[in-house]
Structure 1
Amino acid sequence: MEQKHVSNDSARDQLLPLSAKYPLFVAENLGAEEDGFTDHIFFTLHDPLSKYQCQIPELLGRRIRGYYHGWVILSDHPQNVMWSLWNPVTSNMIHLPPLILKDGDSISVGQCCLLAPPDDPTSILLLTRTNKPTFVFCRLDSRRKKLIWTEIAYAEQLQKITGEDGFLSSLACCNKKLYALNVDNYFGEMVIQVNIVDKGEEVLIKLLLLGPSPFPSSYIGCDRTHFLKGSCTELFYITVAFLEGSLLGAYCFKLDMTSLRSEDIERFKDFDMTGKDVKEEVDYSDLEMSRKMWEGMVDLKDAMFFMDLAGDRSVYYRPAIASEVGGNIYIRDKMGQIMYSCNVKNNTISLSSLPSRVLPTSHVSLWECRLEDGHGEAKCTIDPKPEEDQRVVRSVTHNEVEFDGWNLLNLPVDILETIMEHCVGVEYMNFRATCKHCHLAAPLIKWSTKTSIRKLQDYSLVSPWLMVADKNQGIMTFTDPLLGNSYFNKTLELLKVDFIIHCSRFGWLLLEGYSFEGLYFFNPLTSDLRMLPEVDDVLKSLSFSAPPTSPDCMVVGFSESDDWNVFIHFVAREPSWRQLSLGVGPYSIHSPTFLGRDLYALRNEGDLIGFKDLGKEHNSWTLVEAKAPVSCCKSPAKYFLMNCDQDLLLVVVGEFGERVEVFKLDDSKQEWVKVNDVGKHTIYICGITCLCVEAKSMEMENKIYFPRLHSKNNKIVFYSLETCSYQTSHGDNIQERLRDFIGTTYHLSPHLLWIEPSWSS
C-alpha cells in the first residue's frame, strides 16, 4: 500500500493515529480518476484539517458499501455490476459473479447487508432496490459449486401487512435478525422484520410487522430522513429533520430486543390490513402502545452515529469512542461540504467543514477496519522536567497557605463580604468556589430575593440576553452576549408542561400552552403569568405592541384557515378578540413587527406586507406591500425583520452566514435601500425574536448578534458591520474571528430567543 502523509503545519511529520477512540473517516473521490487523483483521504472529527492520504489497491475503482462481520462490501462505481467482499486483516478477497438484472438497471441497487460471515453456511449478501419492491441476494456458502444472484419480490407481502404499496430501505441486523423500514405508510414509518429461510434449493423471504417506529411530532411538516441501525441486541431508529434546507436536529430512539414482552410481539404478529379502511378499522391504541416500546435517547454518552446524506444514506455506529467526540450524531449534508455534529445531551448543533480534498461528490464512510500496516494508538509522553520559562502549578491546602506578597485573600472576611455585595451571577459563583476563605465571604444565596433581583436588574441593563428553555434538563439559561456569562433558573413550573413560544418583547413571552389550553403572557424573571381570552381559531405569527401591563397592549395573530383572517385583542380594553377578514392572500407569513400601531410581516420569499392603522375602529386599515431587495447571497437566504426607532430594517443572511446585508425601507417609495452600518445601534436576530436597540456599551455598537456560540471558546458570535467578519468578545477584548457559521454551535431547542430582561410585574 502506497502511503502519503498530508497534514497542516502544526501536525507535520506526525502520522494520523489509527485509534478506536478517534474513529477515522474515509473519503472516496470516485469519478476523479480522469483528474489523476485516486487517493483515499482519512481524517478524524477532532482534527479534520490533519489528513492522511493513501492508495489502497483493493479499493481502487470500487465503492465501500458497508462493513459487516469484519468484511468490507465493495461494488464498482457507478455501474454496481461487480460486487466483492474484502477482509482487510487477512487480505482475502471474494469476487462475486456480475450482477445482471432482468431490467438491466443495476444502478438502482440501494443498500446492502451481509447476514453472516462468508464462511457461515447461512451467509447471504442482501441488496435492496430503490425503484422496485424487490430484494436481490447471493448465497455465499462455499460448498456451492456456483454463486448466483436471485431477485425476489416482496410487494404482495408488504401490501398485506401495511395496507399500502411501498419500498423497504435502511437494512439493519440486530439480535441475529434482519429489519428494514417502510416509510411510505399512512401511519408513519413501519419497522418490518425480514425472515430469510434457506430451503436448500430455494430461499423464502417472509415479512413480519414489528410495529411502528417512534414518531417525533415536533418535526411534522419537515423534510425527514429515517435510519435503522442494529448493534448486538439493540435496534436504533434515527430521524434527521430539515426545514427549508436548514437542519433542525436529529432524534434517536432505542429498542432493546431482549426486553420486548411476548404481548408486545403478539400485538402485531397477525396484523393484516388487506381490505380494511385504514382510517376506521385500525386500533390506534395498539399503534401508540407499540411506539412507547421505543426509548428516546437523551444522552449517547461515548457512542456516536454517522450518516452521509450526500451518499447512499448509510448509517454507522460506534458504541464507545473518546468522550470529546462521543455523544454526537454526525451528519454530512446533502451538498457534501458541511458536517453537522448534533449533541444529543446538550441539544446543540455544531458546524464544521470537511478537508479541502474531500469533494462534494465524494463518498464518505466510517472506517471500521485497520490499514494493512496498521499503526497503534499514538502515545504522548511529557517531560517531567519543566523548562525554565514554564510555570509550575502546585496544589496547596487551606491550612497552610504561603504568600509571596500581598494577595486579595489577605483581606478580612468582612471586607470581602462588602465586595461581594456588588457581585452578581457568574462572578459571585466563581468567587465563592475559589477556596474556603472566599466560600465564607460569599454565602449561598437565593437569587429570587429582592436584593439579588436588584443586582441582576442593574447588571441586565447592558444588553438583551439569549434565553434557552431546555425541557429535557428542566432549566432556563440566560446568556449575556457581551461577557458570555450564563445564568440558570431551575425552578420554573412552566418547564413541566408542553408549550410553544410565539414571540418575545419587552421582557415578556407570548406562549401557547397545552396544559393551560390557550395563549398567555409569561415573564420568566418574575414568574408573572397572565392568561388571554380563548380564540376561535388556530393562530400563527403572533406579536404584541406593548408590555401586557400597558393600557396600549395590542396582540395580533394570523389564522391558518383558508380564509385569511387576522385576530386582534386589546388586553386592557376588551374581553375578547376581534376578527378581521383581510380579503387578500392567504399568505404564509412570519416575523410580524410593530411600528407604532402599524403591523408589518414577511412572506416566505422575503416580500414585505404591512397593515397601517390596523387597530383603528371601523376596520379602516391600509395594505402596504414591498418586494424583497436584491441580495448578493448565492445560497438560500433567510430574512429577518425588525424596527429601529421609526424605521424598518431587514437583515438578509446566507444559509451558512457567508453573506450578511442590512436594508432600510424607504417608506415614500416602498423600496429597500441597502445600508452599511446601523450607527450606535445593535441588532439581535433569531427565529422568534428580532431586535434593534441603542447600544448601552460602545463595544456593542454597529454589530449583529446571532444565537450561536463559538465552538472553541463558547462565546456568543456577532457580525461586525465595520469589519465585515464574525467575531466573539469578552468585554472590549475581541477574541476570535470567523468567515461564516462554520465553527459555530447553536441550540436545537425551539425555545431559543432574545429577551430584554424586565423585572416589573
Structure 2
Amino acid sequence: MEQRHGLVCEGFPPLCPKYPWLVSQSLETDKDGTGGQFFYTIHDPLFHYQCHIPELLENRIRGCFYGWMILSNNTMWSLWNPVTSKIIQLPPMILKDGECDDINSCCLSYPPDDPSSVLLLTRAKKSTFVFCRLDRKRKRLRWMEMSYVHQLKRISGNGTLVHGLTCCDGKVFALNTDSFLAEYVIHVHIVIRDKEVVIKLQLFGGCPLHSYFLTDGYYASNYLKGYRSELFYVTVAFSEKTKKTIGAVVVFKLDMASIIKCEKLLEGLKDWDLTNMTPEEVTDEDIEDFNYITHMMWEELLDLKDAVFYVDLVRDHSVFYFPGIASEFGGYVHIRGVMGSIIHSYNFRDKTISLSDMPSQVLPTSHVSLWDCRLEGDFVDSKQEVEDKDDEIVVRRITDDVVDLNESHLLNLPFHLLEMILDHCVGVEYMNFRATCKRCHIAAPLIKWREKSALRRLSNYSVVSPWLMVVDQEQGIITCTDPMLGEKYFMKKFNERVLCNKILCSRFGWLLYYNDARALVFCNPFTGDICELPPLLNYYGRFCFSAPPTSPDCMVVGFSRSNIYIHYVAREQTWRAIHLDFGNAHPYSFPTFYGRDLYALCKEGKLSILKYMGGEDYSWEKDVSRAPTSSCTSHASHFLTKCDQNLLLVIVGFSGESVEVFKLNSTKEWEKIDGLGRHMIYISGTTCLCIEAKSPHMENKIYFPQLHSKSKRAVFYSLETCKYDTFNSKSIEEKFVRTSYEIHPHVWIEPTWS
C-alpha cells in the first residue's frame, strides 16, 4: 500500500490553484499537541498540508460569504477575511433555552461594512431565526431571536422549519421541505428600520423534482447554494434509509438575471396562503399551476463545466461551491459520506461516482469544507498558465502519402489475409483493428452489429465473464463493460421500450425491469427481443425468474408488502396472488429459486421459504435460519445466490470493510466457507450471479460493480488472498478507494444471442 506524505506549514500552505482543496478541522487539540488544519485534494490523495492557522484554531468554518468566513466555537461567533486578515468578534450567543449547539445553517446578508448587513442563523429543532446586525456605528452588537412559525404556516400549510440559508443576488433564500403539499424555496426578506430588524418570509417558488425521485426507494437530501446571480439546488438521493449508498445526484440552476421570463407567473405566488387549509382542500388545479411555475423557473444542469460542489453529510449537511478550477478537475460534486471517512465524487460527464478515502489524520468527526476564499484574479492568472501550456501542442495535417510512408511493415500482409483476421474480430477488437492503419480501415467496413451476420459473429465470440451493463436513459445508450479488459461496448437505443426506469433482475442473458410507464418488461439487449408482462397495479421491489422468458417453464415471482405474485409467462395472462403474513420481516430481498422452493432474505441474513409455490398446497415458513455471526463491525449488505446444490450468503461490510461467504447446511444453519472452488460470484444491487469460471484465474472471486478509476477493470475480492484486486495485477487498497460505480441503472448480465 502506498504511504501518505505531507508538509507542515505555519500559516497558509502554497495551494495549487487548479485543484479543489478541502480543509479539515478538529476543534480539539490532538494527543500529541499538534491540532491545526489539514489541507488536501482528492486528486492527489497521498499528499496533504498540516497547518497552524491561528484564526482557525478551535474555530469551525460554517460558511463563506462575500470573501468573509463565518467561524464558530460553541457560543462564540466571528467573521474573518483571510485576504485582509480582518476579524470581527461577535458577543457570546446566549439563548433562552440554552441550546446553542442546534444551529443548522447560517448566512451573511451583505458584506460586514454595509450598514444593512445581518448575520442570520437557523435552528434545527426550533422555528426561530437567531441574528445579529453588524452595523459598525452601533456601540454594542447583540444577538436577537425571532419566531417565524406563523409566517411559514401561511406559506406551507403545516411546515415547521426552514434550513439551507444562502445568499444570491443580494437576497437571502432558504428551504422548507417538511410541508404536506410541496417543497418550497423561501425568500427571507430582511428590512432594516432604524434600530429594528424586520424579517419577512415570502414564497419564492417550488423546489425542482427529477424523474429519478418519482420512483419508490429513494431518500433524498436537498441543498440550496447561491453564487452571484445564480441559485443552485442540489439533490443527493440514496437507495436506502441509512444513506450509505448514493443512487443519484442532480443539480438545478435558476438564473436571477433571466427570472424576468417567469415574472408574470411568479405574481400568482404573492397571494399564496395555506393558512387553515388541509391537504384535501388544496385543489388539483392549485398543484398543477404550482408545478408548472416550478418547472419554468429551474433548469437541470447536464454539465458543471469547471465548477465543483462539496456536500458534507456528516456534520451539519453544509454545501460549498467553487465556480471554476482547471478544466480537467471540474465537473464534480464531492460528497463526504455519512461514515465520515470516504469522499464520493460524482462526475457529471460520465455519470459515475468515484470513491477516495480521507487522510488518516482526518477523524470521522472532523469538520471538512471546501476552501473557497481565494482571489479570483489569482485564479484566472493560474488557469491561463495551464491553458497556455496546453496550447503548446503542435497540430499537423497528415496526408495520405505520409500515412503510406509511416505505416508499420508488420501490416504489409496480403489484403485477403487482413480480411480473414478481421472476420474473427468483434466489438472493440474490430474497431481497434480498423483504426490501426489505412489498409485495415479499407479491409474492415463499418458493421451494424444488429444485423444477423454480425450477431452470429458475436455469438461465436468467446465470452468468459458476465458484462457490467449500464442503461443511460438520457442519451439512449446501453454500455457493456468487459470486467477483464475494461473495454466498453456501446449499443444505441434500438427500441423505446428497452430504456428502463429500474432494473429488477438479470438472469440467462435477460433483463426484467420497469420501463418509463412502470410496465414490467423482459428484454434481451443483445438480440433486441422484448416480452411484456401483464400489468401489476402497484410498484413492487424484488423479483426473480426461473428460466428465460422464451422457455415454457419460465416463472416470475415478485414481492409486495403483504403478497407474493406469481406469473407463468407461457401459460397465463394474469398474475396469481398469494397473501402471506410477513410480519416485521418485510422487505425481502434476493429471492432465489432452489428446486420447487423459493428462498428470500429478510433482516440481517435470516431466511424465509415458500414451498411448493407452483401448487395449491404451498407453505410459508418465516425465519427458518438465524443470521450468521459476522466479523463485520459496520453496516453490511447481504446477498443470496445458488451455487450448484448449495445456497450461499455473501456479507459485504460498508465500503468493503470485510467480505464473508456462508453456506446453508442441512440443519438450516449458516456455515462459513473459505472458498468457492471453480465458481465465481457477481454482485450488484438487484442481482447476485454464481457461475462456473471458464478460466482458472477467474475462479474463487467475488466481483463488484465498481471499476478501477484508471484501468476501468472490475474490482474483485479474492477469497484465496483475502484482498481486493483487478486484472491488471495491481492491487488496490483495502477499501473501495480509487474506484467508481455507475449512477444509471446497472447490473451484471451474461451475454446470450438466442
Give the TM-score normalised by the residue count of structure 2. Answer: 0.91
Distance 1:576 1:124, change over 3 A: closer
Q: What residue identity is the alignment partner of 1:364? A: V
**Separation (CA, whole Å) in 2 of partners of 1:495 and 1:295:** 27
Which residue of 353, 370, 395 maps to 1:349? 353
Is it true that 1:32 corresponds to 2:36 in the alignment?
A: no
Q: What residue identity is the alignment partner of 1:215? A: L
The 10-residue stretch of structure 1 (414-423 or 638-647) with the greater mean CA deviation from structure 2: 414-423
3-state SS of paired residue (1:321): coil
In structure 1, the partner of 2:191 is 197
| Shift in Å, 1:433 | 2.0
In structure 1, the partner of 2:89 is 95
Q: Spell out the pairing of 1:228-267 with structure 2 (5 A cutoff).
A: 228-242=224-238, 243=240, 244=242, 245-260=244-259, 261-267=262-268
In structure 2, the partner of 1:286 is 289
In structure 2, the partner of 1:57 is 54
Q: What residue identity is the alignment partner of 1:419? A: I
**Separation (CA, whole Å) in 2 of partners of 1:535 and 1:94:** 63
Distance 1:82 1:537, change over 3 A: closer
* 8 Å contact kept, 1:590–1:604: no
Q: What residue identity is the alignment partner of 2:59? A: R
**Separation (CA, whole Å) in 2 of partners of 1:645 and 1:520:** 28
Q: Spell out the pairing of 1:690-701 with structure 2 (5 A cutoff).
A: 690-701=688-699
Which residue of 416, 433, 454 maps to 2:435? 433
The 10-residue stretch of structure 1 (487-496 or 444-453) with the greater mean CA deviation from structure 2: 487-496
In structure 1, the partner of 2:707 is 709
In structure 2, the partner of 1:738 is 733
Is it true that 1:674 corresponds to 2:668 in the alignment?
A: no
**Separation (CA, whole Å) in 2 of partners of 1:672 and 1:168:** 48
Measured against aligned partners, the alpha-carbon deviations of 1:135-173 in whole angstroms (never above 9, x if no partner) come to: 222222222233222222211111111112411111111
3-state SS of paired residue (1:276): coil
3-state SS of paired residue (1:439): helix
In structure 2, the partner of 1:47 is 44
Question: Which structure's residues are more often helix, by fraction?
Answer: 2
The 10-residue stretch of structure 1 (445-454 or 29-38) with the greater mean CA deviation from structure 2: 29-38
| Shift in Å, 1:549 | 1.2
Q: What residue identity is the alignment partner of 1:85? A: L
Measured against aligned partners, the alpha-carbon deviations of 1:79-124 in whole angstroms (never above 9, x if no partner) come to: 2x22222222222222222223233332233322112222222222
* 8 Å contact kept, 1:16–1:51: no
Is it true that 1:83 corresponds to 2:77 in the alignment?
A: yes
Is it true that 1:444 corresponds to 2:464 in the alignment?
A: no
Q: What residue identity is the alignment partner of 2:269? A: F
In structure 1, the partner of 2:18 is 21
* 8 Å contact kept, 2:342–2:355: yes
In structure 2, the partner of 1:324 is 328
| Shift in Å, 1:31 | 1.4
Q: Spell out the pairing of 1:480-491 with structure 2 (5 A cutoff).
A: 480-491=482-493
**Separation (CA, whole Å) in 2 of partners of 1:703 and 1:246:** 23
In structure 2, the partner of 1:119 is 113
Is it true that 1:306 corresponds to 2:310 in the alignment?
A: yes
3-state SS of paired residue (2:542): strand
Distance 1:622 1:137, change over 3 A: closer
| Shift in Å, 1:660 | 0.7
| Shift in Å, 1:537 | 5.3
| Shift in Å, 1:536 | 5.4
* 8 Å contact kept, 1:602–1:609: yes
* 8 Å contact kept, 1:116–1:122: yes
| Shift in Å, 1:602 | 0.5
Is it true that 1:131 corresponds to 2:133 in the alignment?
A: no
Distance 1:576 1:89, change over 3 A: closer
| Shift in Å, 1:514 | 4.4
Distance 1:723 1:267, change over 3 A: same
Distance 1:620 1:274, change over 3 A: closer
| Shift in Å, 1:271 | 0.5
In structure 1, the partner of 2:221 is 225
**Separation (CA, whole Å) in 2 of partners of 1:695 and 1:394:** 48
Q: What residue identity is the alignment partner of 1:19? A: C
Measured against aligned partners, the alpha-carbon deviations of 1:400-438 in whole angstroms (never above 9, x if no partner) come to: 358899732222333222211111111111122233232
**Separation (CA, whole Å) in 1 of partners of 2:618 and 2:265:** 61
3-state SS of paired residue (2:691): strand
Distance 1:584 1:236, change over 3 A: closer
Q: Spell out the pairing of 1:348-747 with structure 2 (5 A cutoff).
A: 348-370=352-374, 398-400=400-402, 407-459=409-461, 461-494=463-496, 499-515=501-517, 518-535=519-536, 538-560=539-561, 564-585=562-583, 587-616=586-615, 618-621=616-619, 623=621, 625-666=624-665, 668-730=666-728, 734-747=729-742
| Shift in Å, 1:481 | 1.7
Measured against aligned partners, the alpha-carbon deviations of 1:201-233 in whole angstroms (never above 9, x if no partner) come to: 211111100122123453455443221000121
Q: What residue identity is the alignment partner of 1:590? A: S
**Separation (CA, whole Å) in 2 of partners of 1:489 and 1:498:** 14
In structure 2, the partner of 1:386 is none
In structure 1, the partner of 2:392 is none
**Separation (CA, whole Å) in 2 of partners of 1:231 and 1:496:** 40
Q: What residue identity is the alignment partner of 1:52? A: Y
Measured against aligned partners, the alpha-carbon deviations of 1:235-259 in whole angstroms (never above 9, x if no partner) come to: 1111223323322232211112222
**Separation (CA, whole Å) in 1 of partners of 2:42 and 2:101:** 31
In structure 2, the partner of 1:388 is none
In structure 1, the partner of 2:344 is 340
Distance 1:612 1:306, change over 3 A: same
| Superposed CA RMSD | 2.8
**Separation (CA, whole Å) in 2 of partners of 1:406 and 1:329:** 45
The 10-residue stretch of structure 1 (588-597 or 146-155) with the greater mean CA deviation from structure 2: 146-155
In structure 2, the partner of 1:4 is none
3-state SS of paired residue (1:481): coil
The 10-residue stretch of structure 1 (653-662 or 317-326) with the greater mean CA deviation from structure 2: 317-326
* 8 Å contact kept, 1:17–1:377: no
* 8 Å contact kept, 1:332–1:339: yes
Distance 1:241 1:32, change over 3 A: farther
* 8 Å contact kept, 2:605–2:649: no
3-state SS of paired residue (2:27): coil
**Separation (CA, whole Å) in 1 of partners of 2:408 and 2:131:** 80
Distance 1:274 1:319, change over 3 A: same
Unaligned runs of 5+ in 1: 1-6, 384-392
Measured against aligned partners, the alpha-carbon deviations of 1:692-725 in whole angstroms (never above 9, x if no partner) come to: 1111112211111111101121111111111111
Measured against aligned partners, the alpha-carbon deviations of 1:615-660 in whole angstroms (never above 9, x if no partner) come to: 13x3344637222211111111111111112211111111111211
Identity score, percent: 52
Distance 1:183 1:577, change over 3 A: closer
Measured against aligned partners, the alpha-carbon deviations of 1:354-386 in whole angstroms (never above 9, x if no partner) come to: 111111121111112359xx9995989999xxx
Measured against aligned partners, the alpha-carbon deviations of 1:541-578 in whole angstroms (never above 9, x if no partner) come to: 22111111111111112233xxx322222222233332
Q: What residue identity is the alignment partner of 1:554? A: M
The 10-residue stretch of structure 1 (202-211 or 215-224) with the greater mean CA deviation from structure 2: 215-224
Which residue of 110, 120, 139 maps to 1:145? 139
In structure 2, the partner of 1:3 is none
3-state SS of paired residue (2:442): helix
